[in-house]
């Protein structure tokens, strides 16, 4: 691999939609926090040289995950007000080790069920083509567009629609510049790919798995628990 791979794991959010007493990344499922599951998946990929975990500087819950944070390949950085700010902080933390044209994978701490094989598939696809990309899942449901009264306006063609997942993998300098540009222009970016798109960069889609869900509401936690349970791990092998 000509360029090294690094990772950033933003985990500074509050997870308000989860309606939990603690930020959702610290919720436990299958014997570990969501953050730990996500971090271990990245660390299990030998192509990734180091992972920057971006935490809220005011958060004192780090002791919940202190063991995995002490891994030699883990770096810690302070997060910002928005996800994009936290990712930018993570990229800045890599400046002393990584080359600007190295690759970085950004992964949601709230996606604890990502398979190491899927991460490897993304890395292989991106490094082979030289084009940044993301894990994503083709939509299979029928999609409706509604008006302000909750009535159907039209049925959308789903043939070219995908549900974005993470990790999302781009060159460090290009992603950093794209995030800075979006910030200057006041553009709303909900993931790294949207910042890259706004900056005019191509983004390839690499088929992921429905298991790679993002834990956003309480029902998602139950599904993650099922996917991460030892019995499900055995049945999927």
Model pLDDT, residue 234: 46
In the beta sheet, which residues pair with residue 138? 162
- Domain containing 99 — which CATH number? 3.90.550.10
- The pTM score is 0.92
Ranges under pLDDT 50 in the chain: 234-235, 237
| Boundaries of domain holding 202 | 5-236
Q: Is residue 141 packed enough to be buried (19+ CB in 10 Å), middle (13-18) or exposed (0-12)? A: exposed
Tokens of 166: 């993470």
Model pLDDT, residue 80: 87
Model pLDDT, residue 58: 78
Please tell me the distance from the alpha carbon of residue 12 to that of residue 56, in angstroms, as a whole number.
Answer: 4
> What's the pLDDT tens digit per position in 23-53?
889 999 999 999 999 999 999 999 999 999 9
- Domain count along the chain: 1
């Amino acid at each position: 691999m000509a360029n090294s791979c690094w990772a950033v794991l933003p985990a500074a959010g509050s997870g308000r939609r989860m309606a939990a007493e603690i930020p959702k990344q610290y919720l436990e499922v299958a014997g570990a926090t969501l953050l730990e599951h996500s971090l271990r998946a990245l660390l299990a990929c030998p192509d990734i040289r180091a992972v920057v975990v971006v935490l809220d500087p005011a958060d004192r819950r780090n002791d919940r995950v202190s063991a995995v944070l002490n891994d030699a390949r883990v770096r810690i950085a302070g997060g910002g007000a928005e996800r994009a700010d936290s990712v930018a902080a993570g990229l800045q933390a890599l400046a002393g080790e990584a080359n600007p044209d190295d690759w970085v994978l950004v992964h949601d701490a709230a996606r604890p069920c990502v398979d190491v094989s899927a991460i490897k598939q993304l890395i292989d696809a991106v490094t082979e083509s030289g084009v940044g990309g993301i894990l994503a899942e083709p939509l299979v449901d029928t999609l409706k567009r509604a008006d302000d009264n909750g009535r159907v306006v039209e049925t959308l063609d789903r043939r070219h629609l995908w549900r974005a997942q993470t990790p999302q993998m781009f060159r460090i300098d290009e992603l950093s510049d794209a995030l800075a540009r979006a910030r200057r222009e006041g553009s709303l970016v909900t993931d790294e790919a949207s910042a890259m798109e706004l900056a005019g960069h191509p983004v390839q889609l690499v088929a992921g798995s429905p298991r790679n869900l993002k834990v956003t509401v309480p029902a998602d936690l139950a599904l993650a628990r099922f996917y991460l349970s030892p019995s499900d791990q055995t049945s999927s092998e």
